[in-house]
Amino acid sequence: MRGDVRSRRVVVVPDVVVNPPDGASDRLSDVALCGWGVVALPPSDLPADIAQPLVTAAVDQVIAFLDGGYEVALLPCADDPGMRRFVAALAASGRTVADLA
Amino acid sequence: MRTVCYLAHCLLNANAKVDEGARCQGVHSPVLALLRDHGCTIRQMPCPELAFGGTRRFWAVREQYDTPAYRAHCRRLAEPVAAQMRADLAAGARVIVIGIDGSPSMGVELTAASDEWGGRPDKPRDEDYPVTLGAGLFTEALLDLLSGVVLGVRVVGIGQDLFDYDEAAELAKLDAMLGGAAGDAG
């Protein structure tokens, strides 16, 4: 048996964190080092007909983690359109998640 | 040429795995580092099993998931992923799908399969988790949706759901594919 090594900590991150621009810090590697798993949001410039079902899928997965008792947080990026879209969709499902402290 | 890698959800979030199925706490850092080294754009695919069975689901083989409802669920999740891949291909990017060999859903060359699994969940993972040649159910749905452009998409499985998982060998396999992608671009 391998045992259960899951951290039970999940952070939602915008695409700009997964794919940082040249010269930007690698925040994804930082959260990885702290043991967090990530739910990566789609790029904010993706057409709505493609992005919306991907955001819906992200919401469904976050709800599964919340219902499973996992800690879920948002990587603070309030000015990111993709993050705003996700937060709105999560709120529409009656759920909220706080920013990563 | 830009290389866009579509990762199985659990490569960036091992919390989506079943109990005792995770190989790390969260992000699989060796894969992330390899993708960073190759300058890849990273996209995370949804985990079909997490959304369907939640975090407390048991280990399962392909036959246990292979229902019309689960296939429809996989197809619904795969449709926007396939659309995004088509857009990346149309923009001139090289697209690589990185699945999980041994997974009933995300397997590429190997998938968990058994006609005997069912009933009381008493099958120890480290003794008889059965695999067979073939893709997982989500991978099948995705490749079906990519008909017409599928030859432009490279697909590889990391064997994290295999009992004899050899991380060094799996990373070398991925490194070779990514290196080949870079070489092709030249």
Tell me the pLDDT tens digit for each residue of A69-94: 999 999 988 799 999 999 999 999 99
A64 in any annotated domain: yes
Q: Check B50 against A61: CB less than 8 A apart.
A: yes
The structural domain count of chain A equals 1
Query: Residue B92: helix, strand or coil by DSSP?
Result: coil
Percent of chain B's residues with pLDDT above 70: 93
The pLDDT of residue B43 is: 98
CA B171 to chain centre: 14
| Alpha helices (runs of H) in B23-124, residue ranges in sequence order | 29-37, 48-53, 62-65, 68-90
The pLDDT of residue B20 is: 82
Cβ contacts of A53 on chain B, cutoff 8 Å: 76-77, 79-80
Of A34-38, B10-14, B118-122, the range with the lowest mean pLDDT is B118-122
Over residues A52-67, the pLDDT tens digits come to 999 999 999 999 999 9
A43 in any annotated domain: yes
At residue A71's C-alpha, the angle toward residues B121 and A85, to 5°, is: 110
The whole domain housing A22 covers 14-92
For chain B, the average pLDDT equals 91
The pLDDT of residue A42 is: 97
A73 in any annotated domain: yes
Q: Check A61 against B84: CB less than 8 A apart.
A: no
Question: Which H or E run includes A12?
Answer: strand A9-13
Does residue B1 sit at the A interface (CB-CB below 8 Å)?
A: no
Percent of chain A's residues with pLDDT above 70: 98
Tokens 């009381």: give the residue.
B120
The pLDDT of residue B184 is: 37
Q: Check A4 against B124: CB less than 8 A apart.
A: no
When CB atoms are compared, the residue of B26, B41, B55 closest to A7 is B26
Over residues B10-56, the pLDDT tens digits come to 999 999 998 888 889 999 999 999 999 999 999 999 999 999 999 99
Q: Check A57 against B19: CB less than 8 A apart.
A: no
Structure-token pair, residue A44 = 């904010």
The pLDDT of residue A85 is: 95
Tokens 């590429």: give the residue.
B108
The pLDDT of residue A19 is: 97
pLDDT-based confidence at residue B120 (cuts at 50, 70, 90) = confident
Residues in A whose CB is inside 8 Å of some CB of B read 1-10, 18-19, 26, 28-29, 31-33, 35-40, 42, 46-47, 49-51, 53-54, 57-58, 60-61, 64-65, 67-70
